[in-house]
Amino acid sequence: MGLIAYLDSIKARDPAPRSRAEILLYPGVWALGFHRVAHRLFRARLYFLARAVNHFSRFLTAIDIHPGARIGKNFFIDHGFTVIGETAEIGDDVTIYQCVTLGGTDPANGIAGKRHPTISDGAILGSGSQVLGPIVVGARARIGANAVVTKDVPEGAVMIGIPARQTLIDAREYQKRFTPYGTPCCDALDPATQKLELLQCEVEQLHQRLAELLEERARPEDAGPSPKRTRSRA
């Protein structure tokens, strides 16, 4: 029953599969299954066996999940080519697209500890995004494609860019239910909501451009101050 519920949770987030049997062929499903075994071995301090399972899983699925990583329920890796570090913690119903890294940072005190991020329930990480360091990504937050996140992400925030910055769009307002790929798959989306999101994006771009212009204006000119003219006396 648990496996069926898990497969149904993936089918609800991915419009591609026609059946549960098709989902069983997904590399992310296999990688998670291998990780459950490796994690139990890791907690039993059978580190070599845990690494062996991890190595075989990486060879088979092209997904590298450290045996020490803690992963909740209904975790879905779409397509794969993902790296998840040792001290990473992932909540329930988290979705990760291809080429995502939950990476670590070198501890400033030289003592190994919490080095990888914590991903809260319902978060979505777009393809190519990099979440680095012992930071927290809030519940139902969305990380845009190729974004690089190095600071804590508030609950429901939408992050884009390098380094990642928060947009004016709040995931809690428009993401009432999961939307594959971050875009609507049907005509059920309210056109007024679409227009509001476009206006918010335009306002954000204008704010950014205004900040750039103010920065350019405040920047000192290359040329020095013009010499003062003195009136010659007859």
**Neighbouring residues of 21: CB distance < 8 A, sequence distance ≥ 6:** none
78: helix, strand or coil:
coil
Residue 209 confidence (pLDDT): 74
Cα–Cα distances (Å) from 28 to 63, 129, 158, 172, in that order, read 7, 17, 24, 27
Residue 16 confidence (pLDDT): 87
Please report, in tens digits, the pLDDT of each residue of the chain (234 residues total): 588 999 999 998 888 889 999 999 999 999 999 999 999 999 999 999 999 999 999 999 999 999 999 999 999 999 889 999 999 999 999 999 999 999 988 776 666 788 999 999 999 999 999 999 999 999 999 998 899 999 999 998 888 888 888 876 655 555 556 666 554 444 444 455 555 555 666 676 677 778 778 877 877 665 455 555 555 444
Question: Hey, how many other C-beta atoms are within 10 angstroms of the C-beta on 68?
Answer: 18
Residue 110 confidence (pLDDT): 61
**Total-model pTM:** 0.72
